[in-house]
A and B are shown apart, each in its own frame.
Chain A
Amino acid sequence: MPLRSENDGPQGTLHIEGEFNIYQADQLKPLLLAELSAMENITVDLAQVEEIDTAGIQLLLMLKQEAARQQKAISFINHSKPVLEVFELCNLGGHFGDPMIFTRP
């Protein structure tokens, strides 16, 4: 499963890995939400995302929205190259508001 989480007190880190697209979307949605509810504040590490499509973006948007609803802090970090490419393509950087740096060449 392309999800890995570290729960460090109130601050949890969720690693999304591998393909993050329509093929996994339906399965990942409940898992992502479960992780979110298990954590106080959440950091989503995107370093290992190898592929992302519209479905993947929507799940990230969902997480952000849901975190806001649950009044939890959420940040997305270590955007992988494919994620950066898509964020740039869709001009979504501002929407997420996280600092984006190249984590991998």
Chain B
Amino acid sequence: MSKTILVVDDSASLRQVVGIALKQAGYTVVEAVDGKDALSKLDGRKLNLIISDVNMPNMDGISFVKAAKQLPAYKFTPVIMLTTEAEESKKMEGKAAGVRAWVVKPFQPPILLDAVAKLILP
């Protein structure tokens, strides 16, 4: 049974590339365009990992993760946040929300795949 990853980013091309890379690596991918959309995807389905952008319209990544961690089914779901060096304060906030894994944008797919593999192998 392949592991499922929720990818949350407002950039369609990022979702596409990340999606392709993850699928090729053997994961199942669910996409969401922003925090709000992502929350709607937390419908009880099993997720092994969440990859989320920080800066997004409608609901940013930190608020989304905070909300997700309130849900029993996703309380312990590992999260990789995509961030930039310019978002140190966001990192603090994310840490408070339970985020430990960060991947700095811009990145190329192998970097992200590597980070993912450290948390869950396919």
Interface of A with B (CB < 8 Å)?
Answer: 21-23
Chain A binding surface, main DSSP class:
helix
Q: Which residues of the other chain, A, contact B76 by a CB distance below 8 angstroms?
A: 21-23
Residues of chain B at interface, number, CB under 8 A? 4
- Write out the residue numbers on chain B whose beta carbons fall within 8 Å of the beta carbon of A23: 72-73, 75-76
Q: What is the CA–CA distance of A9 and B76 in the complex, to the nearest angstrom?
A: 39
Within 8 A of A (CB), among B41-76: 72-73, 75-76
- Give the 6 A-B residue pairs with the shortest CB-CB distance, closest first: A22-B76, A23-B76, A23-B75, A23-B73, A23-B72, A21-B76
CB distance from A29 to the nearest CB of B (A): 15
Q: B60-104: contact bitstring with A at CB < 8 Å (1 yes, 0 no)? A: 000000000000110110000000000000000000000000000
- Cα-based distance from A21 to B120 in the complex (angstroms): 14
